[in-house]
Structure 1
Amino acid sequence: MSNTQSKRKNILFIMCDQLRYDYLSCAGHKTLHTPNIDSLAERGVRFSNAYVQSPICGPSRMSTYTGRYVSSHGATGNFVPLRVGERNIGDHLKPLGMRPVLVGKTHMIADQEGMARLGIDPESEIGVHHAQAGFEPYERDDGIHPDRVLKPNVAYNKYLKERGYDDHENPWHWAANSVMRDGEVRSGFFNDVAASPARVSDEESETPYMTRRAMQFLEEDDGEQPWLLHLSYIKPHWPYIAPAPYNDMYSAADVQDVHSSEKERENSNPLAQHFQERICGRTFSKEEARETVIPAYMGLIKQIDDQLGVLFEFMEQKDLMKDTMIVFTSDHGEYFGDHWMGDKDFFHDPAVKVPLIIADPDPACDSTRGTVQNAPVESIDLLPTFIEYAGGEVPKHILDGRSLMPLLQGDDVPWRDYVISEYDYFQQTFSPKTGRAPLDCRIYMIKNERWKYIHAPGYAPMLFDLENDPDEFIDLGRSDDHLEARQQMHYALADWSLQYRQRETVSEARAEQMVGLEDKFGVLIGYWDESDVKPPASAPDYAAGPKTH
């Protein structure tokens, strides 16, 4: 242990919502400058090929919080509960003495039916543990709570009412995420108002509020128990409404060219067409929409970067930087008209690829500071990383991910050949048009260095040659010349799908001990006589007959 490092090792786990991988200056954005996030990359490692396990909030986050693929943990869509008993971030970190604390969003849906079946009181300690993905909810706010699903006890709404925004029961919507236009309040869910400032001030808006709450936790911390603080920002997720001055800090001149091609709409895959024809795809295929909304989106990102500057300075003053690993990432991206799509939900890089920066203050990581790591990593790799950082052993029979610590420390280790992402489209309004039952509305993506392959039962596959078509414009899923490549990727996907993911009760170490277990017990199946018995098999003295007493 270095003299500059205390024995307590903390983790600040920052997650944005719907932040694209390429909307940071350290990732190459031309006009959006994010100096505080850039400084984090200079202190650590920026992973340039990080992918989420599903291009939508809930399943992506459940994979991050469990370290398991979507088909392992089963929470396949937003509002699909994570089954009770699924081991979460708290199950893995609490036994190591680490306190997992939440400030912000998780999109966790509790398995109320499962808890009732098992007799678990949702208000009990174990009930809260299961309902909050293992986090201690210092302040939880998922942000997406319009009037029909409003929970009156959301602390941020109470805060806004105390600040005078009490003209509606839901000031999150009608103040923080709405604007005044022509003397009337207009909802920020309508993108035509994105250029207008939010009704709330910068100080009163969501990102500074959550930053202050994180600092309040750090202020109250007694310095005894190590913690993982999950600061999970609601923004820059829609509604794309920013407070002044961030609402007009950028203009149409800062909007980068749309990433689409007419080739994508020529004989396109029917399932991809369904995604292109959604209202969000039609809206953001219009230049007016992009030029109105994207500057506000950039302003929300700039606000996050400014607030991280405030937080990092606070941590410096509290002498926390020297013993805190800082992780910065997102749960998925946003299309904004790229590939004729909007929002997220499909597998092009704007939706499924995310920023990931990790800065570990340990001197063992000095050789990699300021570097860019191109290895293909997944969001499920974060929990194993946290476990190893906290001094634990990664349970490989439970977690699908693998620790990133070797990459942070500059070790030359074999890495995975491909990344996986999954999506369940049964909730999409177009799903009845497909004629497929809800259990059949699933899509899988497998990507390696050369190919991105998308398998959707009932549809032709999609295939992109990333070497010759890095823009992902030309679908080779029905090309006669690429049958071999499709078969190669399909077999790789099949191999992945057939691996064990449910044998959680027997560790790899225990599995090795169980080799020949029946022989060791003296259950000698198929032996001819006593001369066949060789170690490690054992045999009672059967020839002597039963013992008498």
Structure 2
Amino acid sequence: MNLILKTSLFCLILYSFSCGSNAKNMTNRLKETETSNGQAPNIIFYLADDQDVYDYGCYGNEKVHTPAVDRLAQEGLLFTNAFTGQAICAPSRSQLFTGKYPLKNGCFANHTATRPTIESVTDHMKKLGYEVVLAGKSHVKPSNVYQWGREWEPVPKENVPRDYIPLDSIENYLKNTTKPFCMFITSKYPHGKYFEVDNPKAEDIKFYPFNDDKKTNPEYLKSKAGYYRSIKEDNTQLEDVLNLVDTYLSNNTLFIYSADHGVSGKFTVKDIGLKVPFVVRWPKVIKAGSVSDQLVHYTDVLPTFLDIAGGKAMPDMDGKSFLPILQGKDVEINEYVYGVRTNQNILNSEIFPSRMIRNKKYKYIRNFNSLEVVENNLTGKTYVDYFIKRGANTFKNEPFEELYDIQNDPFEQHNLANVQELKPVKDTLSKKMFNWMDSQGDILNKIAGNMPIITPSGNKGFKLDQDTPTRQIADSLKNTLQKEDYTIIEHW
């Protein structure tokens, strides 16, 4: 124990004799915190909702207001190649909590459930002496898989577009807890609906190749300005949390900031959807101002937490611990990361599944129901084939195969899939991707005509032959798909 801490504790003890039991309790808590944190650090993961990696000061956008995230990057480690396996809410979060990609954990369509037999972060970290807390948005199920030690709902407020994180509950917990904990603070910002912004201007927005054509679109400018304003609001929430952490917790606190996926690439397997911000502060371990370009993934988060807590990842987890990187070692964690696209069970449900594999240099995508190959997917059943064709036509500009040189074309503007010199690269990536799909128990494969129509059992999801709030189906097509036409996912 250093001299400053000894002196501080001595002063507190003297103060307790004159001022009573409050100071004595504070002294005891400081001792407990020092002892427990020396062996098992507290872990806090702050997760924003639907925010592009390109929309942070520390990731190069000088027009957006993110000083709290930028501060974390200055005080910790910024990852430039962090990914989720699916650019949609529930599947993305399920990976964080299970260490498994969406196909393996079962939640590969939005608003669906993790397989009921899987153990999650709540089970694993509890066994290592941690209390696991969820503060904010959940969006994962079932409850028997996610048994939070404590859970606080988002807090409604008037005249704002979204609910807020439960800051009072968080403060009360940080002030009084004496055992190691793992807390997920899950914001509803900046997810739309956004704030209203008057007279939005294009010069106040940073544009990229994927949205440069929208500089003169008034509706887009209004939405983007409101999105920036919602980002600013979430940054204020993050500042409040960091102030609480710095007030009540010791330096042996691991703090991670991320956002579940990008909003500009939502429902896709493009980097604008799958690449995520990932900033880590751990004052006793991480060198301030560090940067890593190693590939890390949301499935790596739980194995890392287990490693930090003194445990080990389970053999069936997809992720690996990146603790060595936090400790300053520039080591490879993943040679490849993977991505999944499921357009069914969303508001604009269509049959257009995709898979992706990526390393630092190249990225390969296969769109299994592209217009190029849709004839091979037909079944001979009139209504089934109608919906298969409709899916292909909805995304008629997306080819069967895509290959990108990510280092030279980070926004995936130039498809190299038909470049003959790169055929060996494409073939290697395709082979590795299908090997991964097999290991995941994927419902897709190389066989022509295998284009499953997925649906939950019962009436729990959006069906192709039914209206949704954003899509109308002709009366002649309603209720035309029969139970035997579907691949039913029972655990949904």
Q: Same fold (TM over 0.5)?
A: yes
Matched, 1:176 2:176: no
Q: Which residue of 1 aligns with 2:243?
A: 313
Specify the SS of the correspondent of 2:239.
helix
- Cα offsets for 1:78-110 (capped at 9, x unmatched): 121112121111111000010111111121132
Q: Conserved in 2, the CA contact under 8 Å of 1:261 and 1:473?
A: no
Structure 2 unaligned runs (5+)?
Answer: 6-33, 371-399, 443-492
Q: Deviation at 1:358?
A: 1.1
Note if contact 2:51-2:261 (Cα within 8 Å) is conserved in structure 1: yes
Corresponding residue to 1:98 among 115, 119, 130: 130
* Residue 51 of structure 2: aligned partner: 19
Q: Equivalents in 2 of 1:378, 1:254: separation in Å?
A: 32
Report the residue type matching 2:405 in the other structure.
Answer: D
Partner of 1:77: 109
Going from structure 1 to structure 2, the CA distance change for 1:463 and 1:500 (only over 3 Å counts) comes to closer
Could you tell me which residue of structure 1 aligns to residue 184 of structure 2?
A: 230
What code does the residue aligned with 2:368 have?
A: P
Larger relative contact order, structure 1 or 2 (CA cutoff 8 Å, min sep 6): 1
Conserved? CA contact 1:6–1:323, under 8 Å: no
- Deviations along 1:179-221, whole A, 9 cap, x unmatched? xxxxxxxxxxxxxxxxxxxxxxxxxx633x53333223323x3
- Where structure 1 has 5 or more consecutive residues not aligned to the other structure, the ranges are 111-127, 142-155, 166-174, 178-204, 263-281, 336-342, 435-440, 503-549
Match for residue 529 of structure 1? Answer: none
Q: How does 1:390-469 map to 2 (within 5 A)?
A: 390-395=309-314, 397-428=315-346, 441-459=352-370, 460-469=400-409
The letter for the 2-side match of 1:331 is D
In 2, Cα distance between equivalents of 1:413 and 1:315: 30
Q: Post-superposition shift, 1:430?
A: 6.0
Pair 1:253–1:414, CA change in 2 (3 A): closer
SS of structure 2 residue aligned to 1:350: helix
Determine if the alignment matches structure 1 residue 325 to structure 2 residue 275. no
The share of aligned pairs that are identical, in percent, is: 26
By how many angstroms is 1:307 displaced?
2.4
Asked whether the 8 Å contact 2:114–2:140 carries over to 1, the reply is: yes
> 1:215-272: per-residue Cα shift (whole Å, max 9, x none)?
23323x332x211111100110111126xxxx5697532111242389xxxxxxxxxx
Q: Secondary structure of the equivalent of 1:84?
A: coil
Displacement after TM superposition at 1:427 (Å):
2.6
The match for 1:206 is 163
1:106 and 1:473 mapped to 2: Cα distance?
35
The answer to whether the Cα contact below 8 Å between 1:90 and 1:129 also exists between their aligned partners in 2 is no
| Equivalent pair of 1:215/1:314 in contact (CA under 8 Å) | yes
Match of 1:347 in 2: 269
Opposite residue 244 of structure 2, the aligned amino acid is F
Structure 1 letter corresponding to 2:188: I
**Rounded Cα–Cα distance in structure 2 between residues aligned with 1:213 and 1:248:** 34
Q: State the partner residue of 1:7.
A: 36
Partner of 1:377: 296
Does residue 388 (structure 1) correspond to residue 307 (structure 2)? The answer is yes
- Cα distance in 1 between the residues matched to 2:279 and 2:347: 35
Q: Note the alpha carbon deviations across 1:524-543, whole angstroms, 9 max, x for none.
A: xxxxxxxxxxxxxxxxxxxx
Aligned counterpart for 2:263 among listed residues 310, 334, 338: 334
CA distance in 1, matches of 2:116, 2:108: 15
**1:250 touches 1:299 (CA, 8 Å); kept in 2?**
no
Q: Distance in 1 between matches of 2:318 and 2:216?
A: 40
In 2, Cα distance between equivalents of 1:455 and 1:321: 47
2:140 alignment counterpart: 108
Change (3 A) 1:2 1:67: farther
- Post-superposition CA distance 1:443-469 (Å, at most 9, x none): 211111221111232431111122443
Equivalent residues of 2:262, 2:272 under 8 A apart: yes
Counterpart position of 2:207: 257
CA distance in 2, matches of 1:2, 1:491: 56
Contact between 1:348 and 1:472, CA under 8 Å: does it hold in 2? Answer: yes
Instruction: Name the SS of the counterpart of 2:36 in structure 1.
Output: coil
Contact 1:249 1:295 in 2 (8 A): no
SS of the counterpart of 2:188? Answer: coil
Q: Which residue in the other structure is 1:509 paired with? A: none
Equivalent residue number for residue 171 of structure 2: 215
Q: Distance in 2 between matches of 1:315 and 1:248?
A: 35
* Deviating more after overlay: 491-500 vs 53-62: 491-500
The alignment partner of 1:26 has SS state of helix
TM-score, length-normalised on structure 1?
0.64
State the secondary structure of the residue aligned to 2:280: strand
Shift of 1:28: 1.0
Provide the aligned length of Structure 1 versus Structure 2.
Answer: 381
Q: Secondary structure in 2 aligned to 1:48?
A: strand
Q: Which has the larger radius of gyration?
A: 1
Aligned to 1:139: 152
The AA in structure 1 aligned to 2:240 is V
The offset of 1:325, in angstroms, is 0.7
CA distance in 2, matches of 1:28, 1:2: 40
Q: Which of 71, 85, 101 is 1:53 aligned to?
A: 85
Q: Name the TM-score, length of structure 2 as normaliser.
A: 0.71
Conserved in 1, the CA contact under 8 Å of 2:292 and 2:330? no
